[in-house]
Structure 1
Amino acid sequence: MPKAGDTLWDIARDEVEKRENNGDDGKRVEVWEKSVLFMGSKNGGKTTIILRCLEREEVPKPTLVLEYTFGRRARRHNAPKDIAHFWEIGGGTSLLELIRIPITVNNIRSFAVVLVLDLSKPNELWMTMENLLQATRNHVNKILAKLEKTDPEVAGEIKQKMQNNLQRDHPDYDLVDPFPIPLVIIGSKYDIFHFTSKSEALLLKARALINHLAFGYDRSKSVSVDHSKPLFIPAGLDSLSQIGPPPTSDSNIGKMRANTPLELWKKVFEKTFPPRSFSDLQDSKDPAQDSQYAEYEVDVMRAQKNQVCACSAIALHSQEFEQYKKNASKSWKEMDFDPD
């Protein structure tokens, strides 16, 4: 039971220490501890999915920077509760450098990523996906490179685990470069395209999927590859032949230069939905000015610092002006003026 004054980190630490507790049968019960990073389109519904997964009846607030929360679940009665750490990066693609904070060498074996893409903004969708996944892949690959030197067995285990999602007899085995850690891509706001909302059923399905990543619940066995309905495709249960070529004429496909099927799909997609420039997707709003992050003591010190900086700038400008006048005076004395 949390004690008065306990911080979030105190509670999480106490839960981890319960690894030494015994189960009902007298045997040691290990507490699972997993981490999930949510990222994707700005205002795409990431917070809503997290709250539904944790069964919290709260009104979601916009996530501007990087937020953390956690959830606990018991696999059986009186057993220690497993812990799931939930991280969420806000701002769409404007905060790529924050990806390296939650994903570390210490938790890479139990980490998963959930990418949420707003289907109602197709002109931003592909670039958002590409930039976030590439930044995450680069960071994870750096961690794996370090592990290969310090703990090659673990590095090999992680790589093999992801490779196993695709059976060797899969028709696309040689074409696919698996993402280095578990990845789920969710297309949000699907109900916008239908006159009857199916968002509740889809949220329940998303919740079950997140619970699998976070708490090890059984994975859903349902599969839906019918593009006229909400898609639900577990890893390795689809193929390029089933997806087929992009919807464009054969003559146009022949003119497009692409090395892989994914590149071809990207060219056709962006021809239909011209992408916004990367700079347009950057969030220029200063999170420090947002009222939901207001903290009196911090804000007062920040205001004082800004005032000192402003005064220093004024003093610096005054010194520069005085120096300018001295230099100008010297140059004037050295000039030969026309007596007329």
Structure 2
Amino acid sequence: LSETLWDLAAADVQKLQSGVGEEERSAEPSERTVFLIGSKAGGKTSILYRCLDKDEPPKPTLALEYSFGRRTRGHNTFKDIAHLWELGGGVSLSDLVQIPISASNISSLSIILVLDLSKPNCLWGTMERLLQTAQEQTEKAQKTSSKQQSVQQTRVLPKDYPDRELINPFPVPLLIIGSKYDLFQEFESDKKKLISKTLRFIAHYYAASLIVSSSQNLNVQNQKQRQNATCLFVFRKTVSTESNKPLMIPAGADSFSQIGTPPTSDVTSLHAKNPRDLWKKVYESIFPQEVQNEQRELKDPAKDPQYSEPQVDTMRAQKDQELEQYKRNAAKSWKGLDLES
């Protein structure tokens, strides 16, 4: 009755592979890579912890963090492995996508983009920057992988996929999660409608799946209840597209005709180059995007208590004191030279 993100990613990967029978593939262990990117403090770590069934307060992700999960399928002794990467810092560290996205894992990669709905003035900018960077690295990795394996790695959509000729499918399976729905609910009705329709357009344009929820209510498989289920997100067969309810739209279940046009009185005055540019201009006319200089906000990890190492920290403090003393002595020496001259 439901599909997990793992199964959705596996289905796309299997379409790219050839020469192996369906039964033989299902009997072999597999490795998947899931890469979480998105808004700073948008709930990525909370989602990841729920995937791994971690019952502890989430800690801020300073840069790029790695974890993994395992699952056993039925009575099979093989264990599937999920490599889970999380990018911290919002857009400020987007260049680090080249580490999780590589030619070695591109055929088994899925990306999760988490967007903070409580900060609509950063939503489009975050989405645009991160997806552009991830897409460029993904296409680069696919070219390298194709040369090495002589197999085309590009994602191929079914011929009957809605608006197939009008969209720009993301190179690998993509899931967009709108987080902090509890805060989003308090917005005015018109603003909620614009944000919801914009998310639907973005998701359909990139052939992505879309979920809107708070991290507390996100429907995640519990590993204690279902040991053979990994990571992850459950898509019910019922599709929810109403702006006054949490959105739940698997890839391919929406269309431009269902989404409709952007809510604006004068489309022609915006001088848009294409539908995506039109939605961007309409969205930014209501929610001007803030310039994000998040790099300055990143703290020194050496002083972060979650990375404390008593012996190392003690030695570091001693060396810092010695350095400061050396600087003071050097300054006195230079002053003495100035006086003598």
Q: Please, what TM-score do these two structures have when normalized by structure 1?
A: 0.73
Alignment counterpart, residue 173 of structure 1, candidates 138, 158, 164? 164
- Contact kept, 8 Å, 1:44 with 1:117, in 2: the verdict is yes
User: Higher helix share goes to which structure?
Assistant: 1
Counterpart Cα distance in 1 of 2:296 and 2:173: 27
Alignment counterpart, residue 268 of structure 1, candidates 278, 282, 294? 282
- Contact kept, 8 Å, 2:115 with 2:123, in 1: the verdict is yes
Sort the Cα spacing of 1:219 and 1:225 in 2 relative to 1 into closer, same or farther, 3 A: closer
Q: Secondary structure at the match of 1:203?
A: coil
- Contact kept, 8 Å, 2:117 with 2:184, in 1: the verdict is no
Displacement of 1:222 in angstroms is 3.0
AA matched with 1:292? Q
Q: State whether structure 2 residue 205 is matched by structure 1 residue 221.
A: no
- Contact kept, 8 Å, 2:62 with 2:88, in 1: the verdict is yes
Alignment counterpart, residue 204 of structure 1, candidates 203, 211, 219? 219
Q: State whether structure 2 residue 104 is matched by structure 1 residue 106.
A: yes
Superposition pairs of residues 1-340 of structure 1, within 5 angstroms: 29-77=27-75, 79-153=77-151, 156=152, 158-159=153-154, 162-164=155-157, 167-170=158-161, 172-194=163-185, 199=214, 202-204=217-219, 220-250=236-266, 253-279=267-293, 283-300=297-314, 302-303=316-317
Q: Secondary structure at the match of 1:204?
A: coil
Displacement of 1:214 in angstroms is 5.8
Q: Secondary structure at the match of 2:175?
A: strand
- Number of paired residues? 288
Counterpart Cα distance in 2 of 1:40 and 1:260: 25
Q: Please, what TM-score do these two structures have when normalized by structure 2?
A: 0.72
**Identical aligned pairs, as a percentage?**
47
AA matched with 1:256? L
Counterpart Cα distance in 2 of 1:94 and 1:206: 31
Counterpart Cα distance in 2 of 1:239 and 1:179: 16
Counterpart Cα distance in 1 of 2:170 and 2:228: 18
- Contact kept, 8 Å, 2:162 with 2:254, in 1: the verdict is no
Sort the Cα spacing of 1:269 and 1:206 in 2 relative to 1 into closer, same or farther, 3 A: farther
**Which 5+ residue runs of structure 2 have no aligned equivalent?**
1-24, 187-212
- Contact kept, 8 Å, 1:112 with 1:213, in 2: the verdict is no
Sort the Cα spacing of 1:181 and 1:256 in 2 relative to 1 into closer, same or farther, 3 A: same
Q: Secondary structure at the match of 1:36?
A: strand
Q: Secondary structure at the match of 1:72?
A: strand
Sort the Cα spacing of 1:218 and 1:267 in 2 relative to 1 into closer, same or farther, 3 A: closer
Counterpart Cα distance in 2 of 1:36 and 1:171: 26
**Which 5+ residue runs of structure 1 have no aligned equivalent?**
1-26, 330-340
Which one scores higher on RCO, CA 8 angstroms, separation ≥ 6? 2
Displacement of 1:172 in angstroms is 2.2
Displacement of 1:110 in angstroms is 0.7
